[in-house]
Amino acid sequence: MFEAQSGEAVSAGGPTLVALTEPAAAAAATQNPPQVPPQVPPQVPLQGSRLPGPGGPAANGGDVAPVAPEGILRRQTQRESAARTYARSLPIVPVRARGLTIEGADGRRYLDCLSGAGTLALGHNHPVVLEAIRGVLDSGAPLHVLDLATPVKDAFTTELFTNLPPELAADARIQFCGPAGTDAVEAALKLVRTATGRPGMLAFTGAYHGMTAGALNASGGAPEARVTRLPYPQDFRCPFGVGGPEGAELAARWTENLLDDPKGGVPAPAGMIVEPVQGEGGVNPSPDAWLRRMREITAARGIPLIADEVQTGVGRTGAFWGVDHAGVVPDVMVLSKAIGGSLPLAVIVYRSGLDVWAPGAHAGTFRGNQLAMAAGTATLAYVRENRLAERAGVLGERMLTALRGLASEHPCIGDVRGRGLMIGVELVDPATGAAAPALAAAVRQECLDRGLIVELGGRHGAVVRLLPPLTLTDEQAAAVLDRLADAIPAAARRTH
C-alpha cells in the first residue's frame, strides 16, 4: 500500500507497504509541490495483464496484425551475439509503449523501471518528444549533418546551456561525440590529457564509464590501465569498515595523501573522473561533503575534474545534475542518455581553458543526429519547465522510505539506497550478509512475472535497480512498490 500525495491509499496487489510519510519529504511536497502535467489518464496495467485481441489495440487506437514472439526470440538467439545482455533476462518482444508501460507482442503489459538504462526521462513516446521528432521530419531538414551548424542544433545547445551549472555555462565549450556515452567518456579523457600533457587518470572503485577501451580502463575491474584507483565511499560496504561521514573522510584523506606522497607512485594525473551516483556499481550516492572535497583536492593541484553524468543527469537524482546536490562545478561534464530524449546523443561540455585540442582531434560520423537533438531539446525543456527534478527528489524519497520499511520485514534486504528516482535494493544472505546474486536474479524474474521490469547492478549483481521515468505518478509508484514487495518474498521461497 502506497499512500499517494492526495492522502488516498492506492493498492495494486501484493502485501501492504508502510505509508510514505517521511517528514522531510512531506514538508517538501507541501511547499509548491511540482506538478506533472498529465500525458494520458493515469492507468496502471494489472499484473501481467493482456489487452483485448490477439495483438492488443495499437497506441493510436488502431488494430495491428498479431506477432508471434516465440519465433522472434528464437531467431534473436540464433542470430545475435553471445554478448547480448538484457535480452537474456527479459525475454519479451516490445511492440508498443507509452509512458511507464511497455506492451509485448503477446499482449502482456509491463511497468518499465529500466527505462532504457535511464535514457527515458519522460518515459516511452512522450507527446512532446514525438512532436519534436515529427517537426524535424516534416520540415525537410537534413537528418545527418556531421558537425555543421543548424537551427535544430543551435536550439539544443541553447537549451542545454540554460540548464548547466551557471558558472560552467558562462565559460563552456561543447563537443558533440559519437552517439554513445562511452564515446563521450573517451572524448573527455582525450581532452584533459591533451590540455595537461599528462597521461594518467584518477578513477574510483566500483565505477562504470562505458565499454570502449579508455572508458573500460577508467571503470572498476580494469586489469591493466594508466589509471589510479581510489576508494569510493559507501555506507553498506565501506572499504574502511566504518561507513558514514567517517568513512567518507577516510576516503578523502586517502586520495589527498596519495597525491601528495612523493613516494606514492602516482605522478600528477591528467584528470579525475567520478560519478555523482554510481549506477552500475550498485546505486551508491556520493556524499556531498566528500564530492566537495574531491573538487577542492583537484582544484588545488591543477587536476581537471570530470563528472560522468551519463545516467545521473537531467533530473534523475532529484537535481538537474547529480553534482548540483553538493554545489560542485566540474571542469568537464559527460552527458548522454536522457539528453537525447530517447535517441542516441552524447556530448561533453567543459571549461574553455581546456579547449586546446586540434581540429579533428575527436570526431564521429553520427555526431550530427538532428532527430536526437530535437528530442533532446524537448526533453530538457520539459524537465525544466515542469520541475521534474524536484518531483523526482520528493517521490524518490518517499519510495526509499517505503522500501526501508519493507527491509525491516525481510532480512534478505541488506540495504536500500539511492537518490531521487535512482534506487537500489541490495539483497543478501541473511545468515552471512554476503551479496546474494542468485536471489536478486530470482527477484528480477518474479518481478517480470508480475508485469514489472527491473534490472540488476552492483559488484556481484545483487542490487535490484529501479530507474522509472521522471513522469512517474503516485499511482504508478504504488504499483511498482507493491509488485516488488510481492516479488521479494516469492523469490526468497524459490531460492530456499
Provide the β-strand partners of residue 203: 229
The residues pairing with 426 across neighbouring beta strands, listed in sequence order, are 415, 463
What is the reported pLDDT for 280? Answer: 92
Are the CB atoms for 309 and 338 separated by under 8 Å? no
Residues near 391 by beta carbon (within 8 Å), at least 6 away in sequence:
33, 34, 35, 36, 470
> What is the distance between the alpha carbons of residues 191 and 464, in angstroms, rounded to a whole number?
35
Compute the radius of gyration of the chain from its Cα atoms.
Answer: 22
Q: How crowded is residue 183: how many other Cβ atoms within 10 Å of its Cβ?
A: 25
- Strand, coil or helix: 264: coil
Sign of torsion, CA 261 263 268 272? negative
| Predicted local confidence at residue 29, as pLDDT | 36
* Torsion sign, CA atoms 48, 412, 89, 277: positive
Q: Is the dihedral of CA 72, 77, 81, 83 positive or negative?
A: positive
Question: Are 279 and 455 spatial neighbours (Cβ–Cβ below 8 Å)?
Answer: no
Task: Tell me the torsion sign for CA atoms 248, 324, 181, 284.
Answer: positive
Q: Please give the sequence-ordered ranges of beta strands (E in DSSP) within 329-421, or none if there are none.
A: 332-335, 347-351, 413-419
**Taking the chain (496 residues) in consecutive chunks of 10 residues, what is each chunk's mean pLDDT?**
41 39 36 42 56 40 66 92 90 95 95 95 98 97 93 97 97 93 92 94 89 63 71 92 93 94 90 96 96 97 97 97 98 97 96 94 87 98 98 98 96 97 97 96 97 95 97 97 97 85
Four-point Cα dihedral 157, 159, 162, 168, nearest 10: -30
Residue 85, φ and ψ in degrees, nearest 5? -120, -75
Structure confidence at residue 37 (pLDDT): 42
Biggest CA-to-CA distance, the chain: 72
Order of all β-strands in the sheet with 172-176: 172-176, 347-351, 332-335, 305-308, 271-274, 201-204, 227-230
Would you say the pTM of this structure is higher than 0.75?
yes
Bridge partners (DSSP) listed for residue 175: 348
Q: How far apart are CA 44 and CA 4, in angstroms?
A: 14
Give φ, ψ of 373 to 5 degrees.
Answer: -65, -40
Grid cell, residue 314, equals 537531467
